[in-house]
């Protein structure tokens, strides 16, 4: 039996990278997948790829920083599939600059997507999960939340806050049948990262004790475990998936 048979999962930022890798793994394990993204072309292509492989999948264009869009999309998924069993808060952006050069707009954009968006999705989908008495909320943090990173005051602030919110939700929702956990990825070889100069990539590998970059599927597999019944007693945890970089 597949680990997510009969389950319904929402994956924000699911059109590419870690989000799409997670959508594929969840679909392979029997889940119906709703991909939320602002990139309509990539989102439709991602859903089409999954349905062509025999999975139940759909795409919804959702700006996760917009409360009304999130609330409407959550209700639509519930209506279409009958339940929402897993929420993967994965949508995120970067607008890097040092403290002295970062603009207010750069700060606000990252806060809106990476923090407010996670809050809005957690709230809207959490309501549905509480009503049905079960569910799993998983959010993408980052190892930079644990040790900081040059030029990322905004991004690090959001990823640290996601860990804090996850722990609050674990306390508030656990007794209502809903678990909340976070994953802190290290250097992951997404398409965006692969376009970086080779010397930069070598530096990333050199800082990672296992000697390689992570692959999106490494994070997807971690999400899969935390979403499954195998992790039914894990609540409020932060799982570093980083090849040991934090040590």
| Active site (catalytic) residues | 155
Rounded-to-integer distance, Cα 153 and Cα 148, Å: 8
- Cα angle 121, 125, 129; round to 5: 150
Alpha helices in the chain (DSSP H): 17-28, 40-52, 67-81, 104-111, 117-132, 144-147, 153-173, 191-194, 198-207, 216-227
> Alpha-carbon distance 7 to 93, whole Å?
28
Instruction: Give the C-alpha separation, 7 to 135, whole Å.
Output: 10
Cβ density class 184-198: b for 16+ within 10 Å, e for less: bbbbbbbeebeeeee
């Amino acid at each position: 039996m597949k680990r997510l048979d009969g389950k319904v999962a929402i994956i924000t930022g699911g059109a590419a990278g870690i989000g799409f890798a997670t959508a594929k793994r969840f679909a392979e394990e029997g889940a119906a997948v709703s991909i939320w993204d602002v990139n309509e072309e990539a989102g439709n292509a991602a859903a089409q790829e999954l349905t062509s492989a025999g999975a139940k999948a759909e795409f919804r264009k959702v700006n996760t920083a917009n409360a009304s869009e999130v609330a409407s999309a959550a209700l639509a998924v519930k209506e279409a599939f009958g339940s929402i069993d897993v929420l993967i808060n994965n949508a995120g952006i970067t607008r890097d600059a040092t403290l002295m050069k970062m603009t207010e707009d750069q700060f606000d954009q990252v806060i809106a997507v990476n923090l407010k968006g996670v809050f809005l999705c957690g709230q809207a989908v959490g309501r549905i999960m509480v009503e049905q008495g079960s569910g799993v909320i998983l959010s993408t943090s980052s190892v930079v939340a644990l040790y900081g990173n040059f030029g990322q005051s905004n991004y690090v602030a959001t990823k640290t806050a996601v860990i804090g919110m996850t722990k609050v939700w674990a306390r508030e929702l656990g007794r209502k049948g809903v678990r909340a956990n976070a994953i802190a990825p290290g250097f992951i070889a997404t398409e965006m990262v692969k376009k970086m100069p080779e010397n930069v990539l070598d530096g990333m590998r050199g800082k990672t004790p296992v000697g390689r970059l992570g692959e999106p599927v490494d994070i997807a597999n971690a999400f899969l475990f935390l979403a499954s019944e195998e992790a039914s007693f894990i609540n409020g945890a932060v799982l570093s998936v980083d090849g040991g970089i934090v040590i």
